[in-house]
């Protein structure tokens, strides 16, 4: 499994830095965002170090499918499945991606603001 020794999320996944983990499987780990933007704010993160969405290819089809497929399960566990939630996947400077390790934000527990920008 690829990892970047400088990457904060790789360190969290390896257990070298603490996190409030809510889910894990062979491909993904999910933990609470350290700066929550909503009552529920979970980051769903591939174990493999993929820097951003531009680095995702067809070879990552299983991982990509899993990334979406675990959302209903985590949302149900967090009690936000019925009322709904927002998924965000920031990419690059214009997307305001802060951590260069692919991750999906799961936000819920309140009605989100519109517009998204
Ligand atoms: P993004 O902008 O999409 O790259 O969001 C990165 C998120 O990661 C941001 O909402 C804050 C969160 N974050 C940054 N450092 C840490 C950390 O050390 N632990 C946890 N749990 N979250 C972090």
- Each of the 117 residues of the chain gets a pLDDT tens digit; together they read 789 999 999 999 999 999 999 999 999 999 999 999 999 999 999 999 999 999 999 999 999 999 999 999 999 999 999 999 999 999 999 999 999 999 999 999 999 998 776
**Domain-located, residue 53:** yes
- Asked whether residue 64 is assigned to any structural domain, the reply reads yes
Distance, in Å, from the CA atom of 4 to the CA atom of 27, rounded to the nearest integer, reads: 16
Ranges assigned E (strand) in 1-117: 21-24, 28-32, 40-46, 85-88, 104-108
Whether 70 is in a domain gets the answer: yes
Task: Answer for the pair 45, 13: CB distance below 8 angstroms, yes or no.
Answer: yes
Residue nearest to ligand 1 atom 8, measured at CA = 33
User: Measuring CA to CA, which residue among 115, 101, 87 is closest to residue 4?
Assistant: 101
Helix axes 61-69, 71-78, angle to 10 degrees: 20
Q: What is the pLDDT of residue 16?
A: 97
Pocket of ligand 1, beta carbon within 6 A: 8, 19, 31-35, 43, 90, 96-99
Q: Give the tokens for residue 7.
A: 């990457």
Which of 35, 97, 101, 106, when mutated, tests ligand 1's pocket best, judged by the most ligand atoms within 8 Å of its CB?
Answer: 35
Total domains present in the chain: 1
The predicted structure's pLDDT at residue 115 = 73
* pTM summary value: 0.97
Residue closest via CA to ligand 1's atom 16 equals 34
Which residues are tagged catalytic?
Answer: 103
What is the per-residue pLDDT for 117?
65
Domain assignment of residue 92, given as a range: 8-108
- Whether 115 is covered by a domain: the verdict is no
CATH code assigned at 47: 3.30.428.10
């Amino acid at each position: 499994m690829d990892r970047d020794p400088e990457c904060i999320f790789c360190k969290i996944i390896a257990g070298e830095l603490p996190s409030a983990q809510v889910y894990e499987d062979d491909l993904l780990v999910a933990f609470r965002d350290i700066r929550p933007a909503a009552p529920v704010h979970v980051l769903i993160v591939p174990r493999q170090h993929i820097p951003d969405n531009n680095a995702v290819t067809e070879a990552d089809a299983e991982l990509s499918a899993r990334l979406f497929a675990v959302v209903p399960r985590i949302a149900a566990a967090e009690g936000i499945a019925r009322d709904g939630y927002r998924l965000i996947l920031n990419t690059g400077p214009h997307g305001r991606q802060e951590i260069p390790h692919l991750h999906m934000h799961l936000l819920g527990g309140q009605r989100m603001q519109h517009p998204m920008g």
